Amino acid sequence: MAMLAPSGLVFTVMPGNDLLGAAVRSGIDVPAACRNGVCEMCEARLLAGSAINTRNQQTIKVGERLMMCRSIALTDLELEMSAVMAAGNNQPGKYQAKVVDVSSISHDVYRVELQLPRRRDVSFHAGQYLSVNLPDADPCYFSIASSPSEPNIELHIQASPEWLSAQKVIDALTSGDDVTLVLPHGNACLASMPVKPLLLVAAGTGFAQVKSLVDYLRGTAYDQPVKLYWGVRQHEDMYLRALAQQWQDEWPNFTFVPVIGDDEDNDWAGHHDQLVRAVLASGMDWENVEVHASGSPAMVYAMMDALIDVGLPENAFFSDVLEYAPRS
């Protein structure tokens, strides 16, 4: 067994397994990139116990640092790793980020890649979000689309010409200057592996939060069914459909159901109803499922009400909307 301080998270380490792989299979978000001891993102300090460095076969002494990807436990261990926190303990911090890439991935959605100077010191859970803080402007909030284990942070920003605030963010990101981020935010996330099957519901760029959840779960030992319903107005709005289809092709537990309106007036409320009907027709055991919904307040509350009516426990429905747009 190994314990991470200060989070108190505990994970099992099988003989011969490196510490990083053991922690990730237990559902713990350990930052990592190279997995060969070079990037140093998985650095920890040995507080108690005995471990060996697989690169040079030297025993690691108490008080010394180690790379979890290059370390094997010889006894029970206690490790210090401030970048790994338990549920609810990730306090938002302000960071300057370098813009690595801004690319158009649809007619109005941009993929943004950001790099933090000390990524291993920044902890967040799959499904959380951040704010981009520009001078003389209100913060703009976006779901983090990447897994906590990724070295860089990915965002999906919808910015059509009439959405001035989003367009202002894209202009700032393409200026070449660093950008100020505040993260993480949100409690509708996965601080550890869920124990029930998962139903993921996304509308539009709500897919970004889904991507973080799926990327995280695919790197763990989670073996429950995962079903994604992604609702959009028109075919061209499903900007990463090929990726969702790839998940289904490569991950036996995963099912992808696209829900596309594509009618003449594109009435968004109508699409909410269509998405709700599709989810209700899934035939899931509503007393034994965990639901994560990402989209507008109208969609989220319509979905929540419909699912609770058919037997979903209220505490099994998760969405950031319940925090930032509570019903009076």
Per residue in 199-244, pLDDT (tens digit) is: 999 999 999 999 999 999 998 888 999 999 999 989 999 999 999 9
Identify the CA nearest to 205 among candidates 249, 160, 254, 150: 160
Dist CA 193 CA 311 (whole Å):
23
Dist CA 48 CA 96 (whole Å):
35
- How do the domains of the chain map onto residue ranges? 2-80, 93-185, 198-324
Dist CA 123 CA 183 (whole Å):
9
**Residues in contact with 190: Cβ distance below 8 Å, sequence separation at least 6, in sequence order:** 27, 125, 126, 127, 213, 216, 217
In the three-class reduction of DSSP (H, G, I as helix; E, B as strand; rest coil), residue 189 is classed as coil
Q: Are 108 and 198 in contact (CB under 8 A)?
A: no
Dist CA 112 CA 174 (whole Å):
10
* The pLDDT of residue 268: 46
Report helix, strand and coil shares of the chain as percent, to nearest 5. Answer: 25, 30, 45
* The pLDDT of residue 200: 98
Render pLDDT for 81-129 as a digit per residue (tens, 0 to 9): 877 765 555 678 999 999 999 999 999 999 999 999 888 778 888 999 9
Dist CA 63 CA 47 (whole Å):
6
The torsion angle over the Cα atoms of residues 32, 35, 36 and 41, rounded to 10 degrees, is 0
* The pLDDT of residue 178: 95
Tell which CATH architecture fits domain 93-185: Beta Barrel (2.40)
Identify the CA nearest to 181 among candidates 250, 111, 129: 129
Q: Which CATH number fits domain 198-324: 3.30.56.10, 1.20.1280.290, 3.40.50.80, 3.40.50.1100?
A: 3.40.50.80
Average pLDDT per block of 10 residues along the chain, 328 residues long: 87 89 81 75 92 93 93 94 66 92 96 91 90 91 93 94 84 93 92 89 97 93 94 93 98 96 54 89 95 95 96 96 88
Structure tokens at 69: 């990807």
Q: What is the pTM of this model?
A: 0.78
Tell which CATH architecture fits domain 2-80: Roll (3.10)
